[in-house]
Amino acid sequence: MKIAAIQMRSGTEPEANLAALRPMVAEAAAARARYVLTPEVTMAFAENREGLARVAGPFEDNPWLAQLSALAREHQVHLHIGSMAVALEDGRFANRSVLFGPDGAIQTTYDKIHLFDATIAGLNTYRESATYRGGEAAVTAQVDDVTLGLAICYDMRFPALFNALANAGAQVLVVPAAFTVPTGQAHWHVLLRARAIETGSYVIAAAQGGQHANGRATYGHSLVIDPWGRVISELDHDEPGVLLAEIDLAAVDDARGRIPALANARSFTVAPPLSV
Which sequence positions are flagged as catalytic?
Answer: 40, 112, 153
Q: Which amino acid belongs to residue 140?
A: T
Q: How far apart (Å, rounded) are the C-alpha atoms in residues 48 and 46?
A: 6
Rounded to 5 degrees, φ, ψ at 60 are -65, 130
DSSP state for residue 156 in the 8-state scheme: G
Q: Which residues contact 125 (CB under 8 A, 6 or more apart)?
A: 118, 119
How far does Cα 100 stand from its chain's mean position?
15
Q: Which residues pair with 143 in a beta bridge?
A: 146
Q: How far apart (Å, rounded) are the C-alpha atoms in residues 10 and 39?
A: 9
Q: What is the DSSP secondary-structure string of 189-204?
A: HHHHHHHHHHHT-EEE
Q: How far apart (Å, rounded) are the C-alpha atoms in residues 232 and 130?
A: 38
For residues 27, 30, 36 and 41, what is the CA-based torsion angle, rounded to 10 degrees? Answer: 20
Q: How far apart (Å, rounded) are the C-alpha atoms in residues 3 and 245?
A: 6
Q: How far apart (Å, rounded) are the C-alpha atoms in residues 82 and 205?
A: 9
